[in-house]
Chain A
Amino acid sequence: MPVVDLAVSSKRDLNAALHALPANTNETHWHIANPDGAHALAAGVDAPVTIEIDGHAGYYCAGMNSQATIVVNGNVGVGVAENMMSGRVHVKGDASQAAGATAHGGLLVIDGNASARCGISMKGVDIVVKGSIGPMSAFMAQAGNLVVLGDAGEALGDSLYETRIFVRGAVKSLGADCIEKDLRPEHEEILAKLLHEAGVEGVSPTEFRRYGSARGLYNFHVDNASAY
């Protein structure tokens, strides 16, 4: 089990080693000590390994992740798991802005809160936030599911495309073209699966409300001009 202490070795060497891992590597569980808020930690990994970061990470932790399971035993800065393709990123603390931005796949779990623009332009990722999310979350979100156990800030789902948003707590306000929709059995199924995968117990899918796109801005119309 490789342990990389960033107090003595460099982030560049760490990321280079992670990128060089072959698909069948037997170095499958990495520990990173003393991350000290460094940026782009474990960014661009493309191997089925587990990487545990023991401490706080800076911007773009696990950026563009493919296949890997990345666990942060701390908080993360802006853009955790941005543009993730697959795999799993689990933040045990809080996340800053733009968590899971533009991510295409995989699962992002945040045990604490996520700041503004959580899930912005998400393109297929599933995001589960156990705390609350900040304003302008899921702005222009295209696909995937955003699940929030706490509250959501202002302008949730502004200019939303096809992402499904599930919020258990209060929503401060909905953004342009985002509306509440019925929570049907197929949505409860999706929720149950994601809650299970995120390790949430004792919470029923029926406690959530679903929000989605009214699809009113999908084709430009002059009478909608004030919404743009």
Chain B
Amino acid sequence: MDNSHIPQTLPRFSATFDPHTLAEIRRAAATGIYDIRGGGTKRALPHFDDLLFLGASVSRYPLEGYREKCATDVWLGTRFAKKPIHLKTPITIAGMSFGALSAQAKEALGRGATIAGTSTTTGDGGMTPEERGQSQTLVYQYLPSRYGMNPADIRKADAIEVVIGQGAKPGGGGMLLGQKISDRVAAMRTLPKGIDQRSACRHPDWTGPDDLEIKIEELREITDWEKPIYVKVGATRPYYDVALAVKSGADVVVLDGMQGGTAATQDVFIEHVGIPILAAIRPAVQALQDLGMHRKVQLIVSGGIRNGADVAKALALGADAVAIGTAALVALGDNDPHLEAEYNALGTTAGAYDDWHEGRDPAGITTQDPVLAARLDPVAAGRRLANYLAVLTLEAQTIARACGKRHLHNLEPEDLVALTIEAAAMARVPLAGTNWIPGQQF
């Protein structure tokens, strides 16, 4: 019988067991190990794209784009530090370790940030001379591993960031796989070459907010109360975490949403632990306001910030500054299409390359291989980062002027509406075209 005229059921993939999921089940079955990768969440999440600015209208008037000033500077650490930090733009470079990144990449970050008038941050593994030398303003991370931690470097730093968590892996420690442990990385971390370096998830000499307060006091005593002390947390329970950081004596709170990048973490951790930055900013700001500390203890937010609109939205929700990791690496040259053939050879494609932990980055950024790392020209890459930071700043100013603001910090939640009910509830701004903020009683 000829059935060719009967319409056939098309092969249909399950939405639950989609091809990616099936491949992961097979990979797990074949290897017995979870997937480790770099980068941030890859699935779609409620994000800044779900917010819109209203701009000026009959009831509000804008600033003249080419004539009227819209300032962008920010002070960080004004609560206790004798030497607070003053940045020209509120877009900082997030902590990324030497070890995860090549020395060339760290130098390029320093160069770009310095041209732009902003800060860079060390990471797990200590401070390199390249980075200190090229960064006008350098924040020194104080992590559970304390790899490379020493008082001489603390004194060289412009601020100290006590890392409690990261958005990509709140509650998780770190991992630098043996392939990336060069002689230099090993020496800086006081460990044998070629072994996997685990970083603890809790600090070795304090637990809980009461101890943290004493730890911060120690760091202030050691640095004679000169340097701002930041506390970095992954976004989970932002209201309480921010309140406790303030209570512990932080000058600045860094809040990293779940989209935030990482050098190497289990995929299951990246995709399933923590909350999006969009949902975290308002509770954090609420905590500061409830304590009378908004703008006195500064709030830096991060996790998936890509353009000046994201920056403006984060500030409008109440942040004082933002930090970028992944976007800065892309500006340096990460995942660039001109390297497509090499990404293909690694079994991936430009834009999707995330095996940063393996140390074979053709762009010379997430590697310790001297040949690969030498491909990155720190001067040219630093210039690209500076250009990118300038664009972010200009874009944020463009939006702020359209909303009639003389300073980026004058942006406010009232300038925003949400495109989705989720975003309206998380950002606590009305759904566009309505005056409805889900969850709020009138």
Interface pair B190/A124, CB less than 8 Å apart? yes
Q: What residues on A are CB-neighbors of B214 within 8 Å?
A: 39-40, 58-60, 78
Give the residue of B149, B189, B195, B196 whose beta carbon is less than 8 angstroms from that of A83: B149
Given A98-B204, A222-B32, are A142 and B221 neighbors across the interface (CB < 8 Å)?
no
Grouping DSSP codes into helix (H, G, I), strand (E, B) and loop, the A interface class, with mixed when no group exceeds half, is: loop
Given A39-B217, A40-B217, A40-B218, are A104 and B192 neighbors across the interface (CB < 8 Å)?
no
Most buried by A among B146, B151, B205, B211: B205
Interface pair A140/B200, CB less than 8 Å apart? yes
Interface bits B224-244 vs A (CB < 8 Å: 1, else 0): 110000000000000000000
Complex Cα spacing A78 to B200, Å: 18
Complex Cα spacing A13 to B217, Å: 14
Grouping DSSP codes into helix (H, G, I), strand (E, B) and loop, the B interface class, with mixed when no group exceeds half, is: loop
Complex Cα spacing A219 to B146, Å: 21
Give the residue of A19, A46, A78 whose beta carbon is less than 8 angstroms from that of B224: A19
Which of A106-114, A115-123, A149-157 forms part of the interface with chain B?
A: A115-123
Given A40-B221, A222-B33, are A78 and B151 neighbors across the interface (CB < 8 Å)?
no
Interface pair B149/A102, CB less than 8 Å apart? yes
Complex Cα spacing A225 to B32, Å: 10
Give the residue of B146, B195, B218, B222 whose beta carbon is less than 8 angstroms from that of A102: B146
Tell me the total A-B contact number using a CB cutoff of 8 A. 109
Within 8 A of A (CB), among B197-231: 198, 200, 204-206, 211, 214-215, 217-218, 221-225
Complex Cα spacing A101 to B151, Å: 14
Interface pair B151/A102, CB less than 8 Å apart? no
Interface size on A, residues (CB 8 A): 43
Interface pair B205/A78, CB less than 8 Å apart? yes
Interface pair B222/A142, CB less than 8 Å apart? no
A12-B221, A117-B204 known; 10 new pairs, CB 8 Å cut-off, are A11-B221, A39-B214, A40-B221, A58-B214, A59-B218, A64-B150, A78-B214, A82-B204, A124-B190, A220-B177
Pick 17 A–B contacts, CB within 8 A, sort by A. A16-B224, A19-B224, A39-B218, A40-B214, A40-B217, A40-B218, A44-B221, A44-B223, A59-B218, A60-B205, A66-B152, A83-B149, A83-B151, A101-B204, A162-B191, A218-B192, A222-B31
